[in-house]
Structure 1
Amino acid sequence: MRTVHPIETESYAILRTRLDTADLPPLTRAVVERIVHTTADPTWAGDLVCDEDALRAGRAALLAGAPLIADVRMVAVGITARPSTVALDLAPVAEQGLTRSATGIRRAAQSHPDGAVWVIGNAPTALDELLRTGVRSPLVIGLPVGFVGSVAAKAALRDAGWPAISNRSERGGAAAAAAAVNALLYCEESA
């Protein structure tokens, strides 16, 4: 059982005076609130795209011990409830025509073609490469950040129909991506 610090309790109380999430399904609410709490930015609520069935499947997979693959160490460090594999660590150098982030995702996909939960919070090229690999996943958390390619990569994730969490804007990042994973792991709803 996780011990919640009084500051976190107070922060959620403040959050709920500024943002009404009562009508959201339980896991969507958990993800939205955790990201808003992490960023202190209530406008995330209108930007996130969540599918409750995908969240439920991802949570169940995580609780059952499915591999968790993070694109970069910043995401992995932010996930406080369980370890993950860092794809970038698998790519000391980039393969021809790819970024190092995309190379790491390609290599991680070779080791985890089926059943891993993927969390991308840094490079849009990592999400693009994940989509090219054709892995089978119960959940992809696609929240890369940036002015170049992030909106298109997240739209491609949604268009591909993969079970996912994404957002519509250029924002994203390690903190938001890790927060989404933590929300699923901390939520008390049964899987």
Structure 2
Amino acid sequence: MPHTYETDGAAIYRQSFATIRAEADLARFSPDEEQVVVRMIHAAGMVGLEAHIRFTPDMATVARAALQKGAPILCDARMVSEGITRARLPAANAVICTLGDAAV
């Protein structure tokens, strides 16, 4: 029996996020926190992760405002820095990972 696979990357992406929103318990998160949690679940491929995520009050809102003002993103792992989609950053924010910097 032949299988039909979705091959449109944008459609796969949309469906992935729709599945997360349908299956994860996101009720306790603010709108800004929810966006972060959904991205974390997507990156980990693990619905249920939301049960283990906690935010300092207003952290997501303050972080979003800092990014919009051009704050850099500091990463302690190359894999993290490479995984950031620069086109989605609001102010062409610098992504800095000094892991390979000899001065560090």
TM-score, normalization by structure 1: 0.42
State the 1:20 CA deviation: 2.9
Aligned-pair CA distance for 1:23: 4.1
> In structure 2, the residue corresponding to 1:9 is in which secondary structure?
helix
CA contact (8 A) 1:28 1:51 kept: no
> Quick one: which amino acid aligns to residue 10 of structure 2?
H
Moved more, 15-24 or 39-48: 15-24
Question: Within 5 A, what are the aligned runs for 1:28-177?
Answer: 28-81=33-86, 82-91=93-102, 104=104
CA distance in 2, matches of 1:39, 1:60: 25
Task: Please tell me whether Structure 1 or Structure 2 has the larger radius of gyration of its CA atoms.
Answer: 2
Q: How many residues align?
A: 90
Consecutive unaligned residues of structure 2, counting only runs of 5 or more, are 1-8, 87-92
The alpha carbon displacement at 1:57 in A equals 1.2
TM-score (norm 2): 0.73
Q: Considering Cα pairs closer than 8 Å and 6+ residues apart, tell me whether 1 or 2 has the greater RCO.
A: 1
Identity %: 31
